[in-house]
């Protein structure tokens, strides 16, 4: 059996709004094996991004437990969770979140340099070649199209060979044709590295490419396929 990379048990998240409690997620449980792919779908406001943030250790649940790569996130402080993310997690966002002061190559090199990778430049160059940007190494984010920026972001996310990659609407700011290219890249690199994928998306084609889908409604799980 594949190694379990992520296990969440009875997750709930409640915040206070105007002095009143507001429950965003209610008693969510799921388990992912290494190499799995999961799409989290649902209407806006259903709790998708909140769930993603909890699973990635960016936030803590009000109740419940999360185990990521053998670490109990709910028993760690923020600095300890940051170390787990740095070691095991990659991120791709709808807004790309590239550093404007760095060119494409430098953006991809950054996570490698943070890990003291001996061949950061060569590895980053190879990844940018894999995503079809060998002619854009010296270009800054403002000089790249949205699709090109997202390809740089994907190369950066996979640079440190994460065990699990979280993507929040990775095709949300892209036209359908470019979105198809980004989808292919995500799954090509997923298969090449055996990375677990967890995606929040409104893109039906992207969701259908995943081995599993869960649908949220009002903070509750209404479908698990």
Burial string for 7-25 (b: 16+ CB within 10 Å, else e) reads bbbebbbeeeeeeeeeebb
Residue 82 lies in a domain: no
Name residues of the chain where pLDDT drops below 70. 1-3, 223-225
Report the pLDDT value the prediction gives residue 44, as an integer from 0 to 100: 85
**pLDDT for position 107:** 95
- Number of domains the chain is built from: 1
Q: How many CB atoms lie within 10 A of CB 122?
A: 12
Q: How far apart are CA 178 and CA 23, in angstroms?
A: 36
210 Cβ contact list (under 8 Å, min separation 6)? 37, 38, 39, 197, 199
Show the domain range for 193.
35-58+88-224
Strand partners, 17: 20
3-state secondary structure 160-186: CCCCEEEEECCCCCCCHHHHHHHHHHH
> 0.75 cut: is pTM over it?
yes
Compute the distance between CA of residue 156 and CA of residue 206 in angstroms, rounded to an integer: 20
Q: Answer yes or no: is 17 within a domain.
A: no
Q: How do residues 107-162 score in pLDDT, each as one tens digit?
A: 999 988 888 888 999 999 999 998 889 999 999 999 999 999 988 999 998 888 89
Predicted pLDDT at 1: 42
For residue 12, tell me if it sits in a domain.
no
157 is a domain residue: yes
Kindly compute the dihedral angle of the four CA atoms of residues 106, 109, 113, 118, in this order, to the nearest 10 degrees: -120
Please indicate, yes or no, if residue 69 is contained in any of the structural domains. Answer: no
As a whole number, the mean pLDDT across the chain is 90
Residue 25 within any structural domain of the chain: no
Give how far Cα 103 sits from Cα of 48, 68, 122, 156, 165, Å: 32, 32, 15, 12, 23
**Residue 177's domain is classified under what CATH number?**
3.40.50.300
Q: What is the pLDDT of residue 2?
A: 53
């Amino acid at each position: 059996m594949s190694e379990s990379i992520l296990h969440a048990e009875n997750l709930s998240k409640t915040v206070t709004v105007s002095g009143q409690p507001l429950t965003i997620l209610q008693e969510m449980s799921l388990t992912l094996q290494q190499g799995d792919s999961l799409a989290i779908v649902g209407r806006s406001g259903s709790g998708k991004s909140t769930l993603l943030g909890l699973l990635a250790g960016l936030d803590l649940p009000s109740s419940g437990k999360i185990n990521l790569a053998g670490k109990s996130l709910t028993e760690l402080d923020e600095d300890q969770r940051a170390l787990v993310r740095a070691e095991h997690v990659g991120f791709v966002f709808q807004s790309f979140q590239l550093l404007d002061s760095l060119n494409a190559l430098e953006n991809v090199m950054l996570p490698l340099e943070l890990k003291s990778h001996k061949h950061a430049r060569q590895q980053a160059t190879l990844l940018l070649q894999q995503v079809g940007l060998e002619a854009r190494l010296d270009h800054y984010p403002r000089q790249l199209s949205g699709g090109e920026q997202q390809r740089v972001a994907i190369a950066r996310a996979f640079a440190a060979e994460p065990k699990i990659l979280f993507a929040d609407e990775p095709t949300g700011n892209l036209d359908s044709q470019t979105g198809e290219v980004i989808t292919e890249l995500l799954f090509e690199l997923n298969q090449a590295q055996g990375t677990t994928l967890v995606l929040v998306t409104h893109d039906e084609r992207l969701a259908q490419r995943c081995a599993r889908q869960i649908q949220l409604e009002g903070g509750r799980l209404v479908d698990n396929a």
